[in-house]
Amino acid sequence: MLGYLESGKNLTGSACGVAGVGLTLAGAAGAYWPVVVAGLYGAGALIAPPERVAPPPFDPSEEVGALRADFARLREYLGEVELPAAAEGRWAGLLELYGALLEPIWVAEVLATEPEAVHALSRAVRRDVPECVDTYNRTRWWNRLTPGGESPERHLERQLDLLYEEAESVTADLREAEARRQQTHTAYLEERGRSS
């Protein structure tokens, strides 16, 4: 009830109702003044714009925290599956880069301010890497039954190279955002120094 009393519809309707009281006092409403006041109140309440519901506050750092937990589960999963020895270096480099981006220090704070980077990293950790491992293991099983064709190891290595390139691109974008931030602050300080 208190919410409606403070709403824009009630305030607009009340303002129109007061105008109806003014018309009544001026003698324009006559004996039908209650209908005029109520009608103007209703018209005002109807023409008032609807209340805007505020969107829920999302905390980007919560998304990074959830992604960090998913990355920890991914590392456990990768520790349990059989992967080719030739790709170990690629796996180590990729996981090290993901881990560095998700460290709970200022890097993760910068990551949280870039939705595209969070999306790319989330897609890689939650979908792309598990899919690479799963398809490698499935294809390897089929190749044992019917040898020949392209090696699943080559596909896995190529996939890891592509994921590493994407992670490097995300890192470069974050580095560039921080460099722009630093340049902007330098320009601000120079401008402030000239104006004082």
For residue 5, the model assigns a pLDDT of: 73
Measure the CA dihedral 6/12/13/14, to 10°.
70
In the prediction, which pLDDT does 30 show? 80
pLDDT at 1: 66
CA 92 to CA 81: how far, in whole Å? 14
Which residues of the chain fall short of a pLDDT of 50?
none
Name the pTM for this structure. Answer: 0.66
Single out the residue of 139, 134, 137, 132 nearest to residue 161, CA to CA: 132
Q: Rounded mean pLDDT of the chain?
A: 86
Confidence at residue 193, expressed as pLDDT on a 0 to 100 scale:
85
Q: Can you give the pLDDT at residue 145?
A: 67
Dist CA 196 CA 191 (whole Å): 9
Residue type at position 127: R
Quick one: pLDDT at residue 114? 86
